[in-house]
Each structure stands twice: as C-alpha cells, then as structure tokens.
Amino acid sequence: QKEVEQDPGPLSVPEGAIVSLNCTYSNSAFQYFMWYRQYSRKGPELLMYTYSSGNKEDGRFTAQVDKSSKYISLFIRDSQPSDSATYLCAMRRTGNTPLVFGKGTRLSVIA
C-alpha cells in the first residue's frame, strides 16, 4: 500500500459545481497536510495548509483533515474554468521532513 493514495481522475465538472477531492494515507505520523494546485508545465502552488485534524476555509476552498480515518479532503465551491488544474495532496511528519505526495487529481471545469 502506498503511503498516500489519491484518485488521479480525470474529474470533469460543470462551472459552478462543488468539487470534492480527497486522499487517504497510511502513516499515522503525518501531522501536516497540504493541498497544491499545479497548472500544466508549472511548479505546484500552495492552496491550503492544515495542521492535525480539523477544517480550514479560505475563500472558495475548504480543507478537512480526519486523522482518525486517515482521510483528507479539499472542497472547491462555485468552481470556475480557471480552477482546471491538477490538485496534489501532500503531507509530512514533524521535523525537517519532505512532503509525501499523492498522484494528483486532474480537474476540468467546463464553462
């Protein structure tokens, strides 16, 4: 079993829809959880950062972490064509440790 599992999609939704993206993980030592957005041929851009369990909201984006289930989610409300990208979940342990990434989910928002 991989440390981080993420459905690669592709996921296609109409403009204005609510998008739900998620990842599961196996390592209970992960404490920091992040979502990145990556446009084609560009570096990942940090969208959301969450420490331990809980919810965090920023504009149209909501990140949720459920450590008991080892499950994290990213919700995008009122999705826009400009949201079309690959969304990567990433997580890490404490200390100076690197991120472990999911495979990324390709999202297309159709106008």
Partner 1 sequence: GAVVSQHPSRVICKSGTSVKIECRSLDFQATTMFWYRQFPKKSLMLMATSNEGSKATYEQGVEKDKFLINHASLTLSTLTVTSAHPEDSSFYICSARDQARASGNTIYFGEGSWLTVV
For partner 1, the binding residues (CB under 8 A) are: 32, 34, 36, 41-46, 49, 51, 88, 90, 92, 96, 98-99, 101-104, 106
Task: Quote the DSSP letter at residue 77.
Answer: S
Nearer to partner 1, 70 or 93 (CB): 93
CB-CB contact of 87 with 72 (8 Å): no
CB of 9 to partner 1, least distance (A): 11
Nearer to partner 1, 88 or 109 (CB): 88
How many whole angstroms separate alpha carbon 43 and alpha carbon 23?
20
E strand or H helix at 18, and its extent?
A: none
